[in-house]
């Protein structure tokens, strides 16, 4: 992976959260994953109701496993301090710095001076995002907690409100091998990743599709986010397959998920009773007359034995095999 590909990987991870809204399942996954990091920065557990722009940037670092170059923190000002003190990554104070994708941009909404383009903003930072595209002087930035969602903002280089940039040392993630940054195909069963609540990505989408194929109820939305609904479906599947019910998708659970779902069993065929003439509206006697068992004029049996009469009545009642009954009753 080259440095540019490392930057693109960070951006793709940021894009995976687009559409998350505060209070929904994706947002809760972001907060939960941040809170699961150890040691928790400053010991503060982020609430679902807190501002979460810096938490989202930290979530990206945690998802990538790159917290060595992207120190996690839930506060913008404290995050700047971490980059200022960092031995590998850097803090860029100049507002007019031309960023690269993957750079982390800090904002100060109190930048009210008219000559902001020629004045360095040194105010307290109040918001943060990740640069996702640079086209000349035009920037696209992905931000958590942008109107309580993960959204993309358009801005100009050296635009108003820019406080500065945190610059992760992406070059340390480069090994010099050129690897195209593409969406990875679904892994083969033998190389399935272990998945748990809080994970995101293509592997989770595959998991959700397999759970649906095996009859997840309710059916899951295949969005690549491993939340509470997906965990509930995993636990139900594990219980059905008599696996360890822990909500974690490991080798044993993948092995069962990769099997073809069992189709509903076909009910055994039932014997079709011998066809008889449908009884007329009049009732049993009229039907017996039609069968030649009674005479319509004399109301007496016409060439019929007692067993014939009993069998006919059983047939009328829809009970097959009456002649085999050793004790027929009328």
- pLDDT tens for 179-188 read 554 433 433 4
Q: What is the torsion angle, in degrees rounded to the nearest 10, for the CA atoms of residue 276, residue 282, residue 283 and residue 288?
A: -50
Return d(Cα 76, Cα 84) in angstroms, integer. 13
pTM: 0.57
Between 216 and 288, whose confidence is greater? 216
Cis peptide before 218 (omega within 30 of 0): yes
Q: What is the torsion angle, in degrees rounded to the nearest 10, for the CA atoms of residue 128, residue 133, residue 137 and residue 141?
A: -20
- With contact defined as beta carbons under 8 Å apart, do 140 and 133 qualify? yes
- CA nearest neighbour of 16 among 4, 3, 29: 29
Return d(Cα 208, Cα 215) in angstroms, integer. 11
Return d(Cα 196, Cα 192) in angstroms, integer. 13
Choice among 47-61, 63-77, 243-257, 307-321 with the minimum mean pLDDT = 307-321
- What are the angstrom distances between the C-alpha of 328 and each of 70, 275, 284, 322, 325? 89, 21, 17, 7, 6
Q: Is the pLDDT of residue 205 over 60?
A: yes
Q: Bin 165: left if φ > 0, else alpha if -120 < ψ < 50, else beta.
A: beta
Return d(Cα 36, Cα 59) in angstroms, integer. 10
Q: What is the pLDDT of residue 115?
A: 66
What is the average per-residue pLDDT within 54-77? 96
Choice among 120-124, 144-148, 218-222 with the minimum mean pLDDT = 120-124
Beta bridge partners of 154: 140
Q: Mean pLDDT score of the chain, rounded to an integer?
A: 81
189-215 burial string, b = 16+ CB within 10 Å, else e?
A: eeebeebbbbbbbebbbbbbebbbebe
Between 245 and 189, whose confidence is greater? 245
Angle between helices 53-64 and 3-15 (to 10 degrees): 130
Per DSSP, the residues of 21-59 read BTTSHHHHHHHHHHHTSSSPGGGPPPPTTS--HHHHHHH
- CA nearest neighbour of 92 among 159, 168, 164: 164
Return d(Cα 135, Cα 9) in angstroms, integer. 18
Q: Is the pLDDT of residue 194 over 50?
A: yes
Q: What is the pLDDT of residue 258?
A: 86
What is the average per-residue pLDDT within 26-55? 94
Q: Is the pLDDT of residue 98 over 50?
A: yes
Return d(Cα 20, Cα 18) in angstroms, integer. 6
Return d(Cα 110, Cα 223) in angstroms, integer. 37
Quickly state the pLDDT bin for 84 (edges 50, 70, 90): very high
Return d(Cα 12, Cα 169) in angstroms, integer. 17
């Amino acid at each position: 992976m080259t440095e540019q590909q490392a930057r693109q990987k960070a951006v793709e991870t940021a894009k995976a959260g687009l559409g998350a809204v505060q209070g929904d399942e994706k947002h809760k996954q972001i907060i939960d994953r941040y809170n699961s990091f150890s040691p928790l920065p400053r010991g503060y557990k982020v609430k679902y109701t807190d501002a979460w722009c810096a938490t989202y940037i930290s979530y990206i670092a945690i998802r990538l496993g790159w917290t060595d170059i992207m120190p996690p923190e839930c506060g913008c000002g404290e995050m700047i301090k971490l980059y200022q003190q960092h031995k590998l990554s850097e803090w860029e104070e100049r507002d007019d710095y031309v960023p690269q994708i993957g750079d982390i941009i800090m904002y100060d909404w109190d930048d009210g001076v008219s000559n902001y383009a020629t004045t360095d903003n040194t105010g307290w930072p109040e918001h943060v995002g990740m640069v996702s595209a640079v086209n000349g002087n035009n920037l696209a930035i992905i931000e958590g907690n942008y109107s309580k969602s993960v959204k993309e903002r358009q801005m100009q280089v050296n635009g108003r409100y820019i406080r500065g940039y945190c610059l992760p040392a992406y070059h340390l993630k480069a090994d010099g091998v050129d690897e195209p940054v593409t969406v990875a195909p679904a892994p083969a069963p033998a190389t399935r990743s272990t998945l748990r609540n809080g994970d995101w990505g293509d592997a989770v989408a595959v998991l959700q599709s397999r759970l649906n194929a095996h009859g997840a109820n309710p059916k899951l939305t295949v969005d690549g986010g491993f939340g509470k609904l997906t965990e509930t479906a995993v636990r139900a599947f594990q219980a059905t397959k008599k696996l360890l019910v822990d909500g974690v998708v490991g080798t044993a659970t993948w092995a069962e998920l990769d099997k073809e779902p069992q189709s509903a069993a076909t009910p055994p065929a039932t014997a079709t009773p011998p066809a008889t003439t449908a009884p007329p509206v009049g009732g049993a006697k009229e039907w017996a007359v039609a069968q030649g068992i009674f005479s319509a004029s004399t109301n007496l049996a016409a060439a019929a034995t007692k067993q014939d009469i009993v069998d006919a009545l059983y047939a009328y009642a829809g009970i097959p095999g009456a002649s085999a009954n050793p004790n027929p009753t009328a």
